[in-house]
Amino acid sequence: MDYEIEEKGAPNREKVEVLGATYEAGKPDGEDDGRWRHKLASRDEKLRYLRSGERYWYGKDWYGSEKRKNPA
């Protein structure tokens, strides 16, 4: 993989080499991406999926994607 190196100015120095983006840009392909309803068979599975998602984002014992003692 070829890395992109940029030269930028820095405080108290003239030029510094900085590593650029190291990921491959892309977008998911396929018709079934984002169609979670079709992957779950019964109504109970769909409700359980939604409840766990709401608990994850809006519950008091979890704070989004972070486990924190104090909310942000």
- Within 10 angstroms of residue 63's Cβ, the number of other Cβ atoms is 16
Distance of alpha carbon 71 from alpha carbon 61, whole angstroms: 10
Each residue of 15-43: pLDDT tens digit?
888 888 888 777 767 766 667 778 888 99
Distance of alpha carbon 70 from alpha carbon 60, whole angstroms: 10
- Residue 35: per-residue pLDDT: 77
| Domain membership of residue 39 as a residue range | 34-64
| Domain total of the chain | 1
**Contact between residue 65 and residue 59 where contact means Cβ atoms under 8 Å apart:** no
Q: What is the mean pLDDT of the chain?
A: 77
In a domain, 22, yes or no: no
Strand partners, 5: 19
In a domain, 47, yes or no: yes
In a domain, 54, yes or no: yes
In a domain, 38, yes or no: yes
Strand partners, 63: 66
Tell me, what amino acid is at 49?
Answer: Y
In a domain, 13, yes or no: no
Please give the model's pTM, rounded to 2 decimal places. Answer: 0.39
